[in-house]
């Protein structure tokens, strides 16, 4: 059964106007909001490891209580993840990302996370050093 | 099997439906696999989700129960066009798509609505339009195509513009950081990433002369392709070109996040398939 088909030109003009508004809004709003589509325009990744009997072991996410899909990590989020009564092993590492690059070190006895900014331009050598170290 | 009137439109609609079913099945399977990991390592069901805070055990259990229901829904969506007899195929599929929209809304209430949820909801909604409007005497192709066209255009234009405006992305560093992270997490035992290259090989690539320039070129290309897809989804390019460009682009991003990005990949391709049937500028 054929049905009524809408007026294409009115749909086009109205649609394009709505599109322009929604694109401008999407680009300017918080990238985490729906329809803001900020995926991969930035990143923050943690390369954390523990040293056990002179062996450098990369830490999986569950060791510091981050969910299995928690692949975005900056120092603020890492600090929040460490606010748990359960033990977290001592670890070192680097966080590399769009908003900055840091060396991190966690001491479980004092429950203190030390964070030190990596100088601009030194992040790739810092990262490759960690990548070469792990077993 | 025939959804709607046959021909290329029916093929595109059916393929888009299968894209939605696959996205839902994959997404719910990931949630259920994550539930096993969480139960194994965190019996108190308290884990930290960056950007969303600490999980609440009750909410997690609700989300897992909803995921089991979603997986059944995905299987039903995939089987309906094949096993439901012809007079009832379209209405059954329509009902399942409506159920999918409701599922996505409920899941979004339990979990922060992210890119994948929004893209899947867009696709499910345009399929509801496509299959449902004929029931009230309105041809579904044009409204569904226009809605998909605008939704896909907004998606790709915003994503492309954001990438162009990100120096970290345009330098290739986002891609490099993500590939390095994948290699590192794979070594740590994460099933989310490929085990190649190894972290040591990755270090060599980063220190070498050609890897970062190659990723810079790939980043520029990705941003430009996304803008092209956005304009193409409006009808400024032939549909076969739009879909032909989208598939390898999304496959390339699978190299960065092979497991978690699959639902978004198939949902956005499904959205484009509906969009190119009747783009808003045609």
B96 and B28 in a common domain: yes
Q: What is the pLDDT of residue A103?
A: 98
Is residue B188 in some structural domain?
A: yes
Distance CA B12, CA B119 (A): 17
Is residue B127 in some structural domain?
A: no
What is the CB neighbour count within 10 angstroms for residue B208? 11
Nearest CA among B49, B156, B147 for reference residue A39? B156
- A76: closest chain B residue by CA: B50
B170 and B98 in a common domain: no
Q: What is the pLDDT of residue B1?
A: 39
Nearest CA among B226, B255, B262 for reference residue B242? B226
pLDDT digits (tens, 9 = 90+) for B82-140: 999 988 999 999 999 999 999 999 998 877 658 899 999 999 999 999 999 999 999 99
Structural domains counted in chain B: 2
pLDDT digits (tens, 9 = 90+) for B197-222: 999 999 999 999 999 999 999 999 99
Contact A38, A72 (CB under 8 A): no
What is the DSSP-derived secondary structure letter of residue B234?
Answer: I
- Of the candidates B49, B166, B183, the beta carbon closest to that of A98 is on B166
- Domain of B270, in residue numbers: 140-282
CB atoms A131 and B199 under 8 Å: yes
Q: Is A68 on the interface with B (CB under 8 A)?
A: yes
**More confident call, A12 vs B248:** B248
B149 and B48 in a common domain: no
Mean pLDDT of the region A53-59:
94
pLDDT digits (tens, 9 = 90+) for A64-103: 899 999 999 999 999 999 988 788 899 999 999 999 999 9
B146 and B11 in a common domain: no
B145 and B9 in a common domain: no
Q: Maximum distance among all alpha carbons in chain B? A: 63
Q: What is the pLDDT of residue B237?
A: 95
B182 and B66 in a common domain: no
Contact B202, B183 (CB under 8 A): yes
Mean of per-residue pLDDT scores for chain B = 93
- Of the candidates A1, A67, A74, the beta carbon closest to that of B47 is on A67
B256 and B192 in a common domain: yes
Residues ≥6 apart with Cβ < 8 Å to B11: none
Task: Tell me which residue has tokens 């490099």.
Answer: B176
CB atoms A45 and B190 under 8 Å: no
Centroid of chain to Cα B84: 27
**Helices (runs of H) and strands (runs of E) counted in chain A:** 3, 5
A67-87 as b/e: b if 16+ CB within 10 A: bbbbbbbbbebbeebbebeee
Paired residues of A93 in beta bridges: A48, A104
CB atoms B174 and A43 under 8 Å: yes
Tell how strand A91-97 and strand A44-52 pair up. antiparallel
In A53-89, DSSP assigns E strands to 55-58
| pLDDT above 70 as % of chain B | 96
Best mutation target, B158, B191, B216, B264, to test chain A (most A CBs within 10 A): B158
Give yes or no for residue B6 having a pLDDT over 50: yes
Structure token pair of residue B213: 């320039």
A124: chain B residues, CB-CB within 8 Å? 206-207
CA-based nearest distance A104→chain B, Å: 16
Q: Is B130 helix (H, G, I), strand (E, B) or coil?
A: helix
Query: Which pLDDT band holds residue A1 (cuts at 50, 70, 90)?
Result: very low
Centroid of chain to Cα B179: 20
Distance CA B22, CA B27 (A): 8
Query: Which pLDDT band holds residue B3 (cuts at 50, 70, 90)?
Result: low
Q: What is the pLDDT of residue A84?
A: 81
Give yes or no for residue A56 having a pLDDT over 80: yes
* Residues within 8 A of A (CB atoms), B 236-255 only: 253
Q: Is A42 helix (H, G, I), strand (E, B) or coil?
A: coil
| pLDDT above 70 as % of chain A | 93
Give yes or no for residue B228 having a pLDDT over 50: yes
Is residue B125 in some structural domain?
A: no
Structure token pair of residue B38: 């969480």
Mean pLDDT of the region B157-162:
96
Is residue B240 in some structural domain?
A: yes
* Residues within 8 A of A (CB atoms), B 129-148 only: 133-134, 136-139, 142-143, 146
């Amino acid at each position: 059964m054929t049905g009524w088909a809408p007026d294409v030109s009115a749909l086009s003009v109205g649609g394009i106007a709505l599109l322009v508004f929604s694109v401008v809004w999407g680009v300017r709003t918080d990238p985490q909001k729906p329809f803001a589509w900020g995926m991969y325009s930035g990143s923050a990744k943690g390369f954390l490891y523990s040293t056990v009997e002179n062996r450098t072991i990369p830490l999986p996410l569950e060791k510091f209580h981050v969910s299995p899909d928690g692949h975005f990590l900056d120092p603020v989020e890492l600090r929040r993840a460490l606010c748990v009564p359960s033990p977290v092993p001592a670890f070192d590492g680097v966080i590399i990302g769009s908003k900055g690059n840091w060396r991190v070190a966690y001491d479980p006895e004092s429950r203190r996370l030390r964070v030190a900014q990596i100088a601009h331009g030194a992040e790739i050598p810092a990262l490759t050093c960690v990548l070469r170290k792990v077993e | 099997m025939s959804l709607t009137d046959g021909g290329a439109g029916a093929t595109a609609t059916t393929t888009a439906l299968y894209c939605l079913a696959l996205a839902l099945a994959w997404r719910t399977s990931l949630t259920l696999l994550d539930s096993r990991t969480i139960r194994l390592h965190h019996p108190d069901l308290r884990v930290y989700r960056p950007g969303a805070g600490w999980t609440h055990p009750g909410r997690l259990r609700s989300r897992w129960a909803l995921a089991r229901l979603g997986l059944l829904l995905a299987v039903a969506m995939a089987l309906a066009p094949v096993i439901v007899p012809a007079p009832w195929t379209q209405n059954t599929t329509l009902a399942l798509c409506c159920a999918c929209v409701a599922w996505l809304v409920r899941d979004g209430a339990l979990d922060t609505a992210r890119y994948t949820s929004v893209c899947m909801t867009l696709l499910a909604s345009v399929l509801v339009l496509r299959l449902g409007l004929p029931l009230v005497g309105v041809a579904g192709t044009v409204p569904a195509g226009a809605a998909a066209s605008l939704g896909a255009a907004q998606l790709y234009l915003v994503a492309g513009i954001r990438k162009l405006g990100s120096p970290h992305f345009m330098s290739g560093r986002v891609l490099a950081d993500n590939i390095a992270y994948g290699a590192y997490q794979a070594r740590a035992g994460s099933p989310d990433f490929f085990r190649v290259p190894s972290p040591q090989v990755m270090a060599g690539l980063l220190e070498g002369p050609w890897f970062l320039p190659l990723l810079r070129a790939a980043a520029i290309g990705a941003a430009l392709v996304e803008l092209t897809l956005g304009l193409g989804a409006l009808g400024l390019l032939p549909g076969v070109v739009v879909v032909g460009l989208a598939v390898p682009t999304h496959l390339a991003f699978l190299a960065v996040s092979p497991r978690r990005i699959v639902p978004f990949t198939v949902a956005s391709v499904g959205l484009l398939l509906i969009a190119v049937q009747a783009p808003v500028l045609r």
